């Protein structure tokens, strides 16, 4: 990974002059004047909502081919795309460590950078290991890691969207009022969905989720006072659960009388089914919550949005808690 970072930084250095010239030329020729680059789909969708119908904003999502956040590394084309943009929006967690070298090598002083974990400040939480969760072998030697799945909180999303609007307004002061108005309207929709989540959880007889999978939803459950058990932490690279982990999760299903076992998008269902078969009833539903980490461009073109996925997640949550 370090070798790749050095190579990326070198390539960026060689391309910066041409990139800056290209950016200036596009503005003069009447092409899209504000180029925004994001990493994940949620960030891309927020920018699209805040830009609205302003055809002066062109938005690019780097992770639009289904690559998971935790395994993504930028290509040479990605580095060029970043180096020529006006606004770069990224999460800022450990999976984005490659960004540091790219930005250090850039001398495009017009670029506005939005690091969402920096924006959220004290709202960022350390990755948590709850009872029964399988630990990685090297974990004891590692420093505490921040949980980077900040977009899975609607409340965090509202804060981040305000920062995105500010960044667009900084780069394009002529349309600042429009960006602010769009952000106000979109944040109102985020707040309305947040209220529906609160109502759903308050009315639910069950207050615990159990994941036979990674668990990237800590921000979501803490927003609504839910507890959880899971096989792995959100950023874990593990895929095979031990007998002890499976037995613990199955035991919790029995103890709590849970009727659903959850997993995240892309799971093959094998671990969830294994846990299910170790329970007494063996009749639990296997449900999927979408962490929005690997939404493809095709899915976005078909109409998927951050809000639509979070609305779907609410329906799944309601099913799991009832």
Residue by residue, pLDDT tens for the chain (322 residues) are 334 444 444 444 443 333 333 333 333 445 457 999 999 999 999 999 999 987 789 999 998 887 777 778 888 889 888 988 999 999 998 889 899 888 877 656 679 999 999 999 999 999 888 999 987 655 445 567 899 999 999 999 999 999 999 999 999 999 999 999 999 999 999 999 999 999 999 999 999 999 999 999 999 999 999 999 999 987 766 668 999 999 999 999 999 999 999 999 999 999 999 999 999 999 999 999 999 998 988 999 999 999 999 999 999 999 999 9
Question: d(Cα 180, Cα 193) in Å, to the nearest integer?
Answer: 20
Taking alpha carbons only, the member of 84, 81, 82 closest to residue 20 is: 84
User: What is the pLDDT at residue 25?
Assistant: 33
DSSP 131: T
User: What is the pLDDT at residue 145?
Assistant: 85
Highest CATH level, class, for 2-119+145-192: alpha beta
**All residues at 6 or more sequence positions from 96 whose CB lies less than 8 Å from its CB, including other chains:** 39, 90, 148
- Across 12-44, b (16+ Cβ under 10 Å) vs e yields beebbeebbeebeeeeeeeeebbbbbbbbbbbb
Segments in 204-242 forming alpha helices (H): 218-223
Taking alpha carbons only, the member of 238, 301, 248, 298 closest to residue 274 is: 248
Contact yes or no for 291/217 (Cβ under 8 A): yes
Contact yes or no for 289/313 (Cβ under 8 A): yes
Question: d(Cα 87, Cα 99) in Å, to the nearest integer?
Answer: 14
Question: d(Cα 54, Cα 71) in Å, to the nearest integer?
Answer: 33
- The domain 205-291: what is its CATH number? 3.40.50.1980
In the chain, ranges of CATH 3.40.50.1980 domains: 2-119+145-192, 205-291
The reported pTM is 0.87
**All residues at 6 or more sequence positions from 237 whose CB lies less than 8 Å from its CB, including other chains:** 70, 136
Look up residue 56 and give its two tokens: 């002066």
């Amino acid at each position: 990974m370090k070798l790749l970072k050095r190579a990326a930084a070198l390539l960026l250095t060689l391309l910066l002059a041409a990139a800056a010239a290209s950016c200036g030329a596009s503005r003069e020729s009447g092409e899209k004047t504000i180029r925004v680059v994001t990493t994940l789909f949620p960030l891309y969708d927020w920018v699209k909502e805040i830009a609205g119908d302003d055809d002066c904003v062109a938005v690019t999502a780097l992770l639009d081919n289904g690559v998971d956040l935790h395994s993504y590394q930028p290509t040479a084309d990605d580095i060029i795309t970043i180096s020529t943009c006006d606004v770069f929006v990224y999460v800022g967690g450990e999976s984005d460590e490659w960004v540091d070298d790219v930005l250090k090598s850039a001398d495009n002083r017009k670029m506005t950078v939005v690091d969402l974990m920096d924006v959220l400040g004290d709202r960022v939480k350390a990755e948590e290991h709850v009872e029964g969760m399988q630990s990685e072998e090297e974990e004891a030697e590692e420093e505490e890691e921040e949980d980077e799945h900040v977009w899975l909180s609607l409340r965090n999303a509202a804060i981040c969207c305000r920062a995105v609007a500010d960044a667009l307004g900084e780069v394009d002061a002529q349309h600042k009022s429009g960006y602010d108005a769009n952000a106000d309207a979109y944040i109102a929709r985020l707040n309305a969905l947040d209220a529906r989540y609160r109502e759903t959880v308050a009315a639910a007889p069950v207050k615990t989720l159990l994941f036979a999978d990674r668990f990237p939803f800590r921000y979501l459950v803490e927003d609504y006072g839910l507890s959880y058990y899971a096989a792995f932490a959100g950023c874990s690279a593990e895929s095979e659960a031990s007998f002890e982990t499976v037995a613990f999760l199955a035991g919790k299903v029995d103890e709590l009388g849970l009727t659903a076992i959850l997993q995240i998008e892309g799971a093959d269902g094998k671990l969830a089914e294994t846990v299910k078969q170790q329970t007494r009833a063996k009749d639990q539903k296997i449900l999927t919550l979408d962490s929005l980490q690997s939404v493809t461009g095709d899915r976005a073109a078909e109409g998927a949005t951050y809000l639509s996925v979070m609305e779907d997640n609410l329906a799944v949550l309601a099913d799991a808690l009832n």
